[in-house]
Structure 1
Amino acid sequence: MKRWLLWVPLIVFAGLVAVAGSRLIAPPDTVVKSALIGKPLPDFALAPLLPAKPGLDRGDLATGKPRLLNVFASWCVPCIAEAPQLMKLKAAGVQIDAIAIRDTPQAVAAFLARHGDPYARIGSDPQSQVQISIGSSGVPETFVIDGQGRIAAQHIGDIREEDVPKLLKALEDAR
């Protein structure tokens, strides 16, 4: 009987390794989607972050034409990675507005000078209150806003080249 007790720790350890390994191979979906998809944006008004760009409020996003709302920060490495795709979307005629979270005018100006400026408006969200109220849990995130100011779709993470056609389709569907 005592010999079997010697094997118990090894069996428990092997079981833990198997569980951990299965989570690495096929991780669970831990992405948190906004509960506001299909619903109107909450009321908000963000001050301009840069002198040359207007701020952003809910009314700016309900103009009858679909647009993108990008939540970003100058200190966000994936935001750098998505910058070329945002510039492609802008070149394709997409209106893009932004919420800059927990950022400074100097840092955002340097970020835009270095990586391009696709934004028509940039609102400053220093405490991430608007970010949280729209259901965004991180940066970068991009929302497709229909012409009535409703969230039609959400893209979590950086926009990659293969995501551009999907976002263009989502904008077309939001018309």
Structure 2
Amino acid sequence: MGRLVDRELTRPWQSDTLVNVYSTTKGVAAIAFATLIDDDLIDYDAPATRYWPELRAARDGLTVGQLLSHQGGVCGLRETVTVADLYDWPLMIERISTEEPHWEPGTAAGYHAVLWGFLPGELIRRVAGETLGQRLRERIATPLGADFHLGLPASEHHRVADLIGP
């Protein structure tokens, strides 16, 4: 049973089957983000507001590095977030931008489980004019021949294994 990829238990695992890697995406996204440093487009030690002026959590000097290391205090939103909201980039950026931090930014750390990807993603969009997925594909995945996606094209959905719980 472990070699099948669908709930109906009819499709066998293939060498090109794709799986959701959940929070390990953060490490890959951080590597893609680091290419901005290589390109001199962003500085980890600069105030995050240099690149994202309306980010309330960064108004008192929070650096890009602190923001990306879970120190920004925007580990969650106080108002309910729906799954549909998570697919609405402008809405989420507006909500993250105006969210009061849950602690004084830079003084503590707290895991930004769901919202973290929006932080490097929005910084990449602002300084490089591309999505996190585009940057990952063009600078990391394609040159390495890695079949890794952030924002999977619809044409590839048939390759994804279903999430099947115990």
Sort the TM-score into its range (normalised by shorter chain): under 0.3
TM-score, normalised to structure 1, is 0.25
Structure with the greater alpha carbon radius of gyration: 1
TM-score, normalised to structure 2, is 0.26
The structure with the largest strand share of the pair is 1
